[in-house]
């Protein structure tokens, strides 16, 4: 019955997604989106908490009989990107775009809620819809919502990410670590400025920074167990100077991605060791700020196998290799068992497929129905156990 209800509600699910796409809001600045979500659930008759952890919404559907509680999580923040797609539902908020699929995640949860409400008299147990703000920016919304009680009474949590690079009709799962811990590194190198024609009288911060970037590549190659993945990428290197001036300061920003806690410690320690040695050798000083971001997303074995078995009814299921991208869903699974999976959303007819966080990002909306059926069936079967 649930599958038929979801199919009947698919057009509304699409309409919800497109409405949200037109009115995106940045992380930690979401106002109208959580209000829209709360009103939708309230009209369905669910118990609704607003302002959870700051801007989150938690809606609870209570079945006719007592039982276990399943949580479904959906994020709803957007990105600071100017949309370049020419579609009727193009973003109306200048410089802001749903370029990662969070509008779709929210539409999936709302569509599933509406279908399950119609089955409320048959439900044994409860379903909690966790609508999370600020997934895109650390510290993220998950940890604040957990501290505000969004997981109270929850026995298991399920989540999915619509994944544009993967074809429609496919679902990828993975037991254990599926997404990496995502940390930030902020560095200030202080040298001594001077004339470009007299480098011997200066301490060139650009040279020091360049040596640092080059030398840190040996951290992964020579300090980390080669069987344990790690990445350090410098994405920002700034020295604002005239062409003929030796820079006295350089700002660097980068990201570290790991799966293993010990490797995370090694990266934090050894990157600074390289920085110190390079600065000492050149007579420069530095400040080093290593910011621990999201933990790795580590799926629980039983719950992953459970969802994978159910998903086979709606898609081709395979095992994904671990991905170095970050997600704060991992916080939830530090408290309750659960699993997070990828739902393929690439239209096979599209000639060009743009990556997540691109100004022309788009996904095949039919993927929302596949995800909703998988999450909904998993919810019902878990409650029926």
Mean pLDDT to the nearest integer, 68-77: 98
199: CB partners within 8 A, 6+ apart: 246
Residue 350, pLDDT score: 84
Percent of the chain predicted with pLDDT > 70:
100
Mean pLDDT, residues 341-345: 98
Over residues 348-362, the mean pLDDT reads 90
Q: What integer pLDDT is reported at residue 322 of this predicted model?
A: 95
Yes or no: say if 374 and 97 are a contact pair by the CB < 8 Å rule: no
Binding-site positions read 100, 102, 136, 161, 357
Instruction: Please check whether the domain covering 181-293 is classified as CATH 3.30.70.360.
Output: yes
| Largest separation between any pair of C-alpha atoms in the chain | 82
Percent of the chain beyond pLDDT 90?
97
Q: Provide the pairing of β-strand 124-132 with 65-75.
A: parallel
Check residue 236 and report its DSSP letter. Answer: E
Whether 365 sits among the annotated catalytic residues: the reply is: no
Annotated binding site for Mn(2+): 100, 102, 136, 161, 357
- Predicted local distance difference test score (pLDDT) of residue 36: 98
Structure confidence at residue 106 as a pLDDT band (50, 70, 90): very high
Predicted local distance difference test score (pLDDT) of residue 349: 85
Structure tokens at 143: 């940890």
Residue 351 clears pLDDT 90, i.e. is over it: no
The one catalytic residue among 83, 135, 183, 248: 135
Q: In the structure, what pLDDT confidence band is assigned to residue 240 with cuts at 50, 70 and 90?
A: confident
Confidence of residue 348 (pLDDT cuts 50, 70, 90): confident
Q: What is the phi/psi pair of residue 40, to 5°?
A: -60, -50
Q: Which of 25, 30, 75, 77 is catalytic?
A: 77
Average pLDDT for residues 271-294, to the nearest whole number? 97
All structural domains of the chain with their residue ranges: 2-178+297-384, 181-293
- For the chain, give the mean pLDDT: 96
- Distances in whole angstroms, Cα of residue 14 to Cα of each of 19, 157, 281, 345: 9, 24, 59, 14
d(CA 103, CA 356): 13
Query: What is the pLDDT, as a whole number, of residue 353?
Result: 85
Residue 27 has pLDDT above 90, yes or no: yes
Q: Classify the phi-psi angles of 381: left when phi > 0, otherwise alpha if psi is within -120 to 50, otherwise beta.
A: alpha
State the pLDDT at residue 352.
Answer: 78
Query: Please, which pLDDT band fits residue 382 given cuts at 50, 70 and 90?
Result: very high
User: Is there a catalytic annotation at residue 12?
Assistant: no
Phi, psi at 152, each rounded to 5°: -60, 125
Question: Are 233 and 324 contacting, i.e. CB atoms less than 8 angstroms apart?
Answer: no
230 pLDDT exceeds 90?
yes
Tell me the CATH architecture of domain 2-178+297-384: 3-Layer(aba) Sandwich (3.40)
């Amino acid at each position: 019955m649930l599958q038929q209800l979801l199919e009947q509600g698919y057009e509304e699910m699409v309409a919800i997604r497109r409405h949200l796409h037109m009115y995106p809001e940045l992380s930690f600045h979401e106002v109208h989106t959580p209000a829209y979500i709360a009103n939708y659930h309230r009209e369905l008759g669910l118990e609704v908490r607003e302002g959870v952890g700051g801007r989150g919404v938690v809606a609870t559907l209570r079945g006719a009989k007592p039982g276990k509680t399943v949580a479904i999580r959906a994020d709803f923040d957007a990105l600071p990107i100017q949309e370049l797609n020419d579609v009727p539902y193009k973003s109306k908020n200048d410089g802001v775009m749903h370029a990662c699929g969070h509008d779709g995640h929210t539409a999936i949860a709302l569509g599933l809620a509406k279908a399950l409400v119609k089955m409320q008299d048959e439900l044994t147990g409860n379903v909690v819809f966790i609508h999370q703000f600020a997934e895109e920016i650390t510290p993220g919304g998950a940890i604040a919502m957990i501290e505000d009680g969004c997981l109270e009474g929850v026995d298991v949590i399920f989540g999915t990410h619509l994944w544009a690079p993967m074809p429609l009709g496919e679902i990828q799962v993975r037991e254990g670590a599926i997404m990496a811990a995502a940390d930030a590194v902020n560095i200030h190198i202080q040298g001594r400025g001077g004339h470009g024609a007299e480098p011997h009288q200066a301490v060139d911060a650009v040279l020091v920074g360049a040596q640092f970037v080059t030398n840190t590549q040996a951290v992964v190659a020579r300090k980390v167990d080669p069987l344990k993945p790690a990445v350090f990428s410098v994405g920002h290197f700034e020295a604002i100077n005239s062409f003929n001036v030796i820079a006295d300061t350089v700002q660097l920003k980068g990201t570290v991605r790991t799966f293993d806690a010990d490797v995370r410690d090694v990266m934090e320690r050894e990157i600074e060791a390289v920085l110190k040695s390079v600065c000492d050798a050149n007579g420069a000083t530095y400040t080093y700020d290593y910011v621990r971001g999201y933990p790795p997303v580590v799926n629980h074995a039983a719950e992953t196998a459970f969802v994978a078995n159910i998903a086979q009814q709606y898609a081709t299921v395979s095992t994904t290799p671990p991905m170095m991208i970050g997600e704060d869903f991992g916080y939830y699974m530090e408290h309750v068992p659960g699993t997070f999976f990828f739902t393929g959303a690439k239209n096979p007819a599209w000639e060009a497929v743009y990556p997540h966080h691109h100004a022309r990002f788009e996904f095949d909306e039919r993927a929302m129905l596949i995800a909703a059926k998988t999450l909904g069936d998993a919810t019902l079967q878990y409650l029926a156990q």
